[in-house]
Chains A and B, each alone.
Chain A
Amino acid sequence: MASATLRGLVERLGATVTARVWRLGFAARFLFYLVLHSGTALRRFSLTIREIYFAGVLSLVIILVSGLFVGMVLGLQGYHTLQRYGSSEALGVLVALSLVRELGPVVAGLLFASRAGSAITAEIGLMKATEQIAAMEMMAVDPIARVVAPRFWGGVISMPLLAALFSAMGIYGGYLVGVKLIGVDEGAFWSQMQAAVDVREDVLNGVIKSFVFGFAVSWIAVFEGYDAPPTAEGVSGATTRTVVTSSLAILALDFILTALMFTGGNGL
């Protein structure tokens, strides 16, 4: 009896793992096909610009407001910690490096996944449920080229821009709290930041991170939407999966990228 239960458990585990691996393979093939058929999205760039508006411009409010508050909190927390060591002038460096290297790409990525990723999944999923995708196929228009690819590239392009704006707004928030509210020396705040932040080492690596996150979130969002069962539950499940999977992917990728970028490649 016990061995039968154990066997059932192992079988279920095996089936779950196989299904996950199969789906990952399917997602990879989907991405390959999507990139291969991105000609329309790039040739008729107005299609992609429209998606940049929906994914990027419409996410601006949440990104800017969140960036401002994250920067303000960093200013407060950073000042209290740095003050203990008598180096409160380094507040600018702390705020800028935290944002440009980590918080900008990661928090903007998480917000992007919740705001734009979920919307992309729900839209494609509902288009499928209402047979709009099938209608497009019957009109001899490839829905991956016409619907999916512009949304994917719109997301990939928007994400680094949003992360940059998040960081800029965060630095301004840190400045407001640190310099204007608490009274840290303004010259020290900016000059130390300027001296410590390296364009290639810090800014470029941050941009690469945000690009990778944008790629991952957009891929997950369009795939989940396209693969969603065409029912109300199917679309809601796919939308939830987009947010959960994207968030986990961002955090995991962030660790990997940080290990590669900021440790001199020796893993320490």
Chain B
Amino acid sequence: MNASAVVSIENLWFGYDPARPVLRDVSVEIPRGKVVGIMGQSGCGKTTLLRMIGAAMTPARGLLRVLGADTRALGRDGLYAMRRKLGMLFQFGALFTDMTVYDNVAFPLREHTALPEGMVRDLVLLKLEAVGLRGASQRMPSELSGGMARRVALARAIALDPQLMLYDEPFTGLDPISFGVISRLVRSLNDALGATSIIVTHDVQETLGVVDYVYFMADGQVVWQGTPQAVDGSLEPFVDQFVHGKPDGPVPFHYPGSSFAAELALAAD
């Protein structure tokens, strides 16, 4: 295990139903300061892995250390102390709909610090300026577009200057301009904060332009890992199918079932 790794996962197993594991013998290492992508098709277990890193779930077996702590050994207070160093961007932002943009970004500051309101205001405006939405501070979340909501959520996630940023499908459903804005922010915020970022996504080309290292997952396992530059040279059939969007390959086009001929009663008796 690399001591400088922000997240170390070794031989991790997890399943909602023990008979059908979602994660099977997963080993992942996230070095400090890097932006790492975890890619795979829907249902491959990548979001489960992200939630496990955020300690929202507990592994059945294996080792999981986040920011130097074994999440399974942490009590409620220890867990919350660890999460204060995390920032997470949810797929659709998960903004508090009863608060303005300003109050959303101020929320973690007000909950976790005793800063005077003037200083909270400066910090909130600083974070909103970083995502380009200082002018929208008094808007309600319902008045924002999808891309803007995600930028506000990003500002909220970095409010306490996290050491580790977790992104759950940050690019899904964004128009090209919003995508460009978010992807640049992911990179620049990571470098400016000196943080480490994990992006879980199935948007291949968009992500490969942002990350330093990438893991490909299929059926609950890591099937390939390497730099974005090495992806094109990969001989792994799943990576080839996934990156080039081929309809058939290791992931079959047809859902497993009985023979089509038999189903149509055309098979010879």
Contacts and interface: CB of A to CB of B under 8 A. Distances in A.
Given A131-B90, A146-B111, A140 B84 contact: yes
Contact of B83 (A127, A131, A139): A139
Contacts of B96: 127, 132, 135
A6 interface: no
B83 A140 contact: yes
A134 B83 CA distance: 12
A134 B79 CA distance: 14
A132 B141 CA distance: 12
30 contacts: A127-B96, A127-B97, A130-B92, A130-B94, A131-B91, A131-B92, A131-B94, A132-B95, A132-B96, A132-B97, A134-B90, A134-B94, A137-B56, A137-B83, A138-B56, A138-B86, A138-B88, A138-B166, A139-B83, A139-B108, A139-B111, A140-B79, A140-B80, A140-B81, A140-B83, A140-B112, A141-B107, A141-B108, A141-B111, A146-B111
A138 B92 contact: no
A135 B153 CA distance: 10
B94 A132 contact: yes
Given A131-B90, A132-B97, A138 B81 contact: no
B158 to A, nearest CB: 12
Contacts of B90: 131, 134-135
B22 to A, nearest CB: 18
Interface in A108-149: 127, 130-132, 134-135, 137-142, 146
Q: Give the most central of A127, A132, A142: most B CB within 10 Å.
A: A132
Interface string B84-116: 101010111011110000000001100110000
B142 to A, nearest CB: 12
A138 B83 contact: yes
A132 B112 CA distance: 18
B54 interface: yes
A140 B107 CA distance: 11
Interface string B166-184: 1000000000000000000
Contacts of A137: 56, 83
A139 B107 contact: yes
Contacts of B54: 138
Nearest to B107: A139
Q: Give the most central of A130, A132, A134, A135: most B CB within 10 Å.
A: A135
Interface in B108-165: 108, 111-112, 153, 156
A130 B141 CA distance: 12
Contacts of B91: 131
Given A130-B94, A134-B56, A137-B56, A142 B80 contact: yes
Nearest to B95: A132
